[in-house]
Chain A
Amino acid sequence: MKTYYNPDDLKKFGNISDFEPSLAKKFFDYYGEVFKEGALTAREKSLIALAVSHAVQCPYCIDAYTQDSIEKGCDEQQMMEAVHVAAAIKGGAVLVHSVQMMNKYKEISM
């Protein structure tokens, strides 16, 4: 059965350089630098990546950063809390726009 997402395609991420090598190299170098231990630990960065993966609803990223978070010693509670942070921000982002809706409502209502 053909689907839009194929789990094996995650392993081919590096192949994006086939069509445009120089930009891909810049991206992967940047990516590698971002995830290095810095002011944030590699573990904290992994949890952020896991939360963002859910927010952008990327199945490849969810697979990759679930694995990475477990390997970095995160437990299921920490990982689920990270996803709730993403959900809260996404939900909040929807709801805060209701202020705009309310403003417009009031503007055009008697």
Chain B
Amino acid sequence: METKSLLAQKHELASAKSQIDFLENSDFIKFSDKLRQQNLFPFTTKALEIFQINVGKMCNQVCKHCHVDAGPDRKEIMTKETMEICLDAIRISGANTVDLTGGAPEMNPEFRWFVEELSKLNKKTIVRCNLTIIVANKKFNDLPAFFKKNNVEVVSSLPYFTASKTDSQRGDGVFEKSIAALKLLNEVGYGVHGTGLILNLVYNPAGAFLPTDQNALEKEFKTKLKSSHKIEFNNLFAITNLPISRFLEYLVRSGNYYSYMEKLVNAYNPIAAENVMCRNTISIGWDGFIYDCDFNQMLDMKIDVDSCKQHISNFSIVETSKRNIRINQHCFGCSAGAGSSCGGSVS
């Protein structure tokens, strides 16, 4: 399995521009035309609910499908100064949820300080934890207790309930470590009925296919994880892999790009398109720039406002709410089938 990011490999698809050029250079119907057909173009926002912050690209894993191109060789992380500016923006934003992601967000040295400050804001705080970080080093072993103390909601990726599929996507040994981490989370009450401590899992396909029905998968995950490992969790989110970054590179390398895009386009669901997460979310990059979503962030598609208002230091809720959402062909990933968001299916 590859242990370097596309950037470290100096791969052509590490560049946002190359990815966009690649996505645009095809004869598939444009996503904007699909939206036009249902009078949704230009694509506008709804009331802001989720303030998603990517605190850095540093990660202890190098997952094959990672849209962030994260890994141990990525050093871009958010500074405490930018976090302080984010806190000010969150206070005035009206958002009810703060969603922390990465990389492995816990690897940012200011992560714990940031979570403690967020917990004072009386907002729901979500941490997207890759699980293995909890057992990667002794200094992270107390993360379950830290999450509990700060009333954090944990969302964790587990592509499947068997080792072979999980490891094929996320790296050798990841399944075993993930199970160990899930047990530690269960021990402090996460995912356990009646504790109020929420542990949600994320399923995303380990290959060039779409996720199945989220409810059916959740039922099966619950049965298998309980019977094989005595593990409990709350909800399963089924997320579609978007054709960007490492997943795009995989699609191209394996000869699956055209058929996967065709599948996404054919599975376009107007109801899902109406409910995609970029309509009620903003996404902040490690360097403080603002995007419509984490995927646009990785494609360097900053929000469509005056350039001076594209940075969190000049955040304006009025300007941000009036913006049109920037779209491109990768957006077919969020509107396919039952739809896809950081919270799973949307229709």
Q: Which A residues fall within an 8 A CB radius of B? A: 41-43, 67, 70-73, 75-76
B217 touching A73 by the CB < 8 A rule? yes
Is B164's CB within 8 Å of the partner chain A? yes
Smallest beta-carbon distance B295→chain A, Å: 21
Beyond A70-B207, A73-B220, list 7 extra A-B contacts (CB 8 Å).
Answer: A42-B213, A43-B216, A70-B205, A70-B209, A72-B212, A75-B162, A75-B164
B216 touching A73 by the CB < 8 A rule? yes
Is B160's CB within 8 Å of the partner chain A? yes
Smallest beta-carbon distance A7→chain B, Å: 9
- The residues of A that contact B213 with a CB separation of less than 8 Å are 42, 72
- The residues of B that contact A72 with a CB separation of less than 8 Å are 212-213, 216
- The residues of B that contact A76 with a CB separation of less than 8 Å are 164
**Cα distance A79–B212 in the bound complex, in angstroms:** 16
**Cα distance A75–B164 in the bound complex, in angstroms:** 9
Cβ-defined partner of B216 (8 Å) among A42, A67, A70, A75: A42
Q: Is the interface of B mostly helix, strand, loop or mixed?
A: loop
**Cα distance A67–B212 in the bound complex, in angstroms:** 11
- Total A-B residue contacts, Cβ distance less than 8 Å: 26
Q: Which of B170-226 contact A (CB under 8 A)?
A: 205, 207, 209-213, 216-217, 220
- The residues of A that contact B212 with a CB separation of less than 8 Å are 43, 71-73
Smallest beta-carbon distance B311→chain A, Å: 41
- The residues of A that contact B220 with a CB separation of less than 8 Å are 73
- The residues of B that contact A71 with a CB separation of less than 8 Å are 205, 209-212
A75 touching B165 by the CB < 8 A rule? yes
**Cα distance A43–B207 in the bound complex, in angstroms:** 18
Q: Which residue of chain A has its CB nearest to the CB of B211? A: A71
- The residues of B that contact A41 with a CB separation of less than 8 Å are 216
Q: Which of B261-279 contact A (CB under 8 A)?
A: none
Smallest beta-carbon distance A30→chain B, Å: 22
- The residues of A that contact B205 with a CB separation of less than 8 Å are 70-71
**Cα distance A76–B165 in the bound complex, in angstroms:** 9
- The residues of B that contact A42 with a CB separation of less than 8 Å are 213, 216
Please list the 6 inter-chain residue pairs (A to B) with the smallest Cβ-Cβ separation, ordered nearest first.
A72-B212, A71-B209, A71-B212, A70-B209, A73-B212, A73-B217
